[in-house]
């Protein structure tokens, strides 16, 4: 919030700060359910597979389950939002996917099809590789980028066929401000994704968005916009990608661009409440209370209960006085 923002919006910011303490500590908890099955490379159900679900907004909120005889798994008590779903099994490549959980609608079952791991050139076991990947992800979230790079590189040595890890390494270099090195790694991942029929488009789109973020951090707005647009064109039906681009612009206070991509995410998946919530906050930053209220109301229509809903209701009651 800048000093130029209207007085009423500053008052709202104070209200958010007061309410956020106890409310956000419980973010991620709710009535949502998510489940599915895990199958092996031969298509048969896999029992005894470790499945982990981590809330994207709070890496400290993580749940684990082990698949049953029919390869089934489930989680309950989930809040609305994006969750990172991972699975690991001996002899298989680690699985990771971002899923959106709703508390109002029945969430579709997630089918996890494990792939046979390519022969590793290193000496690490599959279990150790998974530990390295999880360690690298946590170190990245903690801002320990050099340590994260070391963990990712050890993982890559043990799993040379998994080019996707280069994107995570590039993310670290980007956050370190080593943009030339980051962009080179993103471009390598894009080139390798061309032969990936399964995840190629998703990985290319993520890499393009990474390049855009790198340019944005350098203040090169025109170049950033070009790469963000390319990322969306590569994966036009990916609401999470559009939402993440909106988050990048919002964090840099490029509010009009943030609105564009949050609206795109809402257009792709109109039943997802998160883009409407973020649009409410963006319009508050623009001191446009009418548009803020409109989007908070759309959010509440999709998520009428819970901590986030309580906060949105408090803000609405304040700006409508």
How far, in Å, CA of 288 to CA of 78, rounded? Answer: 32
182 burial via Cβ count (<10 Å: 0-12, 13-18, 19+): buried
Q: pLDDT of 81-103, one tens digit each?
A: 888 888 888 778 878 888 888 87
Q: What is the CA radius of gyration of the chain?
A: 21
Q: pLDDT of 184-205, one tens digit each?
A: 999 999 999 898 887 788 889 9
Q: State CA 32 to chain mean position distance.
A: 18
pLDDT value of position 174: 94
Please identify which residue in the block is written with the tokens 């029992």: 47
pLDDT value of position 27: 56
How far, in Å, CA of 258 to CA of 67, rounded? Answer: 39
DSSP single-letter state for residue 68? -
Which residues is 147 bridged to in the sheet?
none
Residues of the chain with pLDDT under 50: 1-26, 119-125
pTM: 0.60
Per-residue tokens: 190: 């894009």
Nearest to 181 by CA among 191, 170, 190: 170
Tally: H helices and E strands in the chain:
12, 7
How far, in Å, CA of 147 to CA of 132, rounded? Answer: 11
Nearest to 32 by CA among 107, 112, 109: 107
pLDDT value of position 283: 93
């Amino acid at each position: 919030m800048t000093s130029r923002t209207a007085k009423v919006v500053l008052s709202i910011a104070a209200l958010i700060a007061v309410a956020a303490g106890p409310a956000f500590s419980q973010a991620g908890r709710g009535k949502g359910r998510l489940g599915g099955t895990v199958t092996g490379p031969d298509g048969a159900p896999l029992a005894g597979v470790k499945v982990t679900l981590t809330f994207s907004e709070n890496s400290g909120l993580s749940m684990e389950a082990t698949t049953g005889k029919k390869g089934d798994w489930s989680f309950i008590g989930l809040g609305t939002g994006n969750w990172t779903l991972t699975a690991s099994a001996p002899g298989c490549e680690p699985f990771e996917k971002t899923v959106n959980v709703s508390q109002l609608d029945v969430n579709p079952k997630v089918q996890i099809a494990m792939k046979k791991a390519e022969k590793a050139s290193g000496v690490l076991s599959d279990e150790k590789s998974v530990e390295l990947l999880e360690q690298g992800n946590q170190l990245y979230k903690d801002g320990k980028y050099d340590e994260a790079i070391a963990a990712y590189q050890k993982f890559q040595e043990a799993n040379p066929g998994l080019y996707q890890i280069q994107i995570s390494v590039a993310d670290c270099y980007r956050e370190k401000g080593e943009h030339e090195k980051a962009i080179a790694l993103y471009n390598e991942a894009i080139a390798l994704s061309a032969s990936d029929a399964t995840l190629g488009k998703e990985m290319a789109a993520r890499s393009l968005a990474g390049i855009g973020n790198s340019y944005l951090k350098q203040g090169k707005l025109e170049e950033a916009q070009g790469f963000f647009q390319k990322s969306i064109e590569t994966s036009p039906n990916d609401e999470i990608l559009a939402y993440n681009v909106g988050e990048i612009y919002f964090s840099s206070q490029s509010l009009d661009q943030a609105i564009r991509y949050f609206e795109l995410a809402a257009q792709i998946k109109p039943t997802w409440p998160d883009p409407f919530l973020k649009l409410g906050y963006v319009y508050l930053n623009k001191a446009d209370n009418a548009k803020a209220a409109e989007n908070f109301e759309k959010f509440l229509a999709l998520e009428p209960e819970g901590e986030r809903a309580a906060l949105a209701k408090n803000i609405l009651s304040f700006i409508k006085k």
